[in-house]
Amino acid sequence: MPINQLMRQAGNVMSDNLSEKSYRPGPWYRSLFSIYTVFTLAFSVFLIREACSRGGDLTDGFVIVTLIYITCVIFMSTAGVWAFLTYSRWVRLILSEQTITKMEGDKEHVIAFNKISHLNWLSISDEMIVESPADTFRIDLDDFKRTDQRDIIAFLRNAVPLEKQEKWEPFSEVRRRSIDPDAPLTNWERLVTVVYLIATGLAVVMWWSESGMGNLMMAAIFLFAAIRSYRGT
């Protein structure tokens, strides 16, 4: 993306509040977890119905497996919701005109922009490493919403001197749709997304015909990969 466009975006980031802008985690996979939870709860209802049709005898193997499954689903869903809520309150990123701050619970990392020695853009892990002589911390872009990702990238790209930034070129190629959400998919990204969706459909069909939980897990993995490919992340 041209540097002047990034500068305009960076200006827009700070226009709402000239002193600072705060970002809290809102990862995209939270929606995927919600879908998973709804699916597992629906499957639990199906299992309960089947168990009741068998008389609900607690000595029946199917009924026992159903109870164990439902218990695990409730535990995992509750734990997942608790983890998301805790993390969203625990982590906060604050960008101001003078400093960049990352808060992790009671721990606070503060680095003044004129003290930054390196800003390393990592295209593989979707992270940025901010370094100064006194402190270092990471910013995981996948923790934030797409619009927040764009604002964070634009602001840091403009605020940190270019000579202190490393690996921007490969990062901007890999994360181009985080930088510019309106950028169209490349032919390769379309092809990969279609392949993953086909694989997801095949895994669902195999699960439906064979009732193997392994196939269901594979379907979830392929669906996750398809979403990642479509998002360009």
User: Whole-prediction pTM value?
Assistant: 0.59
152 and 144 Cβ atoms separated by less than 8 Å: yes
Centroid of chain to Cα 184: 20
Give the three-state DSSP class for 92: strand
Report pLDDT for 3: 47
Report pLDDT for 17: 47
pLDDT digits (tens, 9 = 90+) for 68-101: 888 888 888 787 777 777 766 778 899 988 899 9
Report pLDDT for 165: 94
Report pLDDT for 79: 79
Report pLDDT for 222: 84
CA 146/CA 10 separation, integer angstroms: 15
List of residues 6+ apart from 58 with CB closer than 8 A: 64, 67
The residue ranges of the chain whose pLDDT is under 50 are: 1, 3, 7, 10, 17-18
